[in-house]
Amino acid sequence: MSDIVVSARSVSKIFGNGPEQVRALDDVSVDICQNEFFTMLGPSGCGKTTLLRLIGGFEQATSGDILLEGQVLNDLPPYKRPINTVFQSYALFPHLTVRQNITFGLEMKGMPRREANGRADEMLDLVQLAPYGDRMPSQLSGGQQQRIALARALAPAPRVLLLDEPLSALDLKLRKEMQIELKRLQTETGITFVFVTHDQEEALAMSDRIAVMQAGKILQIGSPRDIYESPTHRFVADFIGESNFLHGEVRQTDGGAAVLTLAGGREIALAAMPVSGPRDNVTISIRPERLALYARNDQKDGLTGTIRDIVYFGTDTTYHIDLGPSGTDARLTVRVQNREGEGREFERGAQVGVTVPVDAIRVLAD
């Protein structure tokens, strides 16, 4: 039996009519697996929440199919789908206790009260809030309320749990704690989590796989490491973390090596010929932490330039470097980890060299 739980097949969603219509999703196809923490990541308006709502049944696709374990769900209303949703707002009933909030949905589905209370206690243990069952929601912190919302959604043991930016209202420290908590809950329950966020750090910290979306399309799907280390599009490289982008012409030398020639004439070696034959207007990306600085008189291979700005971040220092005498042909950002007794400090205006490892270069799609 296939381990695919949720599938979208050539799904498009159009809002509005005529010249004012908006194509929120454009022929999207994706498979989400059993017991997977799957994240849809992208900026506002990219279509990630629309796709989540289609899976939950809160919107209907203009074309294409949503499937759950091979069954088409298009005409099935939300309450008939074995899918629960946790929204940005906790939506707890203020007049019910924590335990009653959890048991409400179970009793509505016909579960006897005693059994529902037992299930609620299990969920309170799972989210580590067992002593809080008799409290009112107003007596809980924001993070505790979020855990109760999760407990309520998990109580019916859905096949899939949808999470629509549920951590956005929390402060930074609590959000980081809840990231660990969410991943723990997903692992312990074995339920497929489909998470929507615009926060790259959240996606990298929790996900088994990430789908990066832009303008209603999925640009790349992969593990956090794949998405970060091997982006295939400029948007992905730019949206996830920080990247240097260099443009130039690719050609093959007489010895068979591939090089990128920048506008100012500088050359960067590539691991392999990324295109079939010479091409101009090729873009590469390089993560700042993969570059290394050295004093210009050390005579190492690499690029040379002038330090324009230095930003100290505590754990590391970022150097902004102009390449070439005019500083107009290209710029690089280099991030150096701060370790006591290691390396050397460079000053603003210093002439430096930059080592560019061949395996750190990624050639991007147009």
CA distance 261 to 267: 4
Q: What is the pLDDT of residue 275?
A: 67
* Closest-CA residue to 86 (of 49, 122, 111): 49
Higher confidence at residue 180 or residue 275?
Answer: 180
pLDDT, tens only, 78-118 = 999 999 999 888 789 999 999 999 999 899 889 999 999 99
Give the chain's domains with CATH numbers.
Answer: 4-238 (3.40.50.300), 242-363 (2.40.50.100)
Q: How many CB atoms lie within 10 A of CB 152?
A: 25
- The pTM (predicted TM-score) of the whole model is 0.88
Is residue 230 predicted with pLDDT exceeding 70?
Answer: yes
CA distance 227 to 39: 12
**Backbone dihedral angles phi then psi of residue 76, each to the nearest 5 degrees:** -90, 125
Q: Tokens 């946790």 map to which residue?
A: 86
Q: How confident is the model at residue 330 (pLDDT cuts 50, 70, 90)?
A: confident
**d(Cα 187, Cα 341) in Å, to the nearest integer?**
41
Q: pLDDT-derived band of residue 1, with 50, 70 and 90 as boundaries?
A: very low
Q: Residue 272: helix, strand or coil by DSSP?
A: coil
Task: Identify the band that residue 55 occupies on the pLDDT scale cut at 50, 70 and 90.
Answer: very high
Write down the pLDDT at residue 206: 94
HSE-CB at 128 with a 13 A cutoff on CA atoms is 9
Residues 6+ apart with CB under 8 A from 126: 151, 154, 185, 188, 189
- Nearest residue to 227 (alpha-carbon basis) of 251, 190, 191, 201: 201
Q: Is the pLDDT of residue 273 over 80?
A: no
Candidates 13, 18, 37, 23; CA nearest to 207 is 37
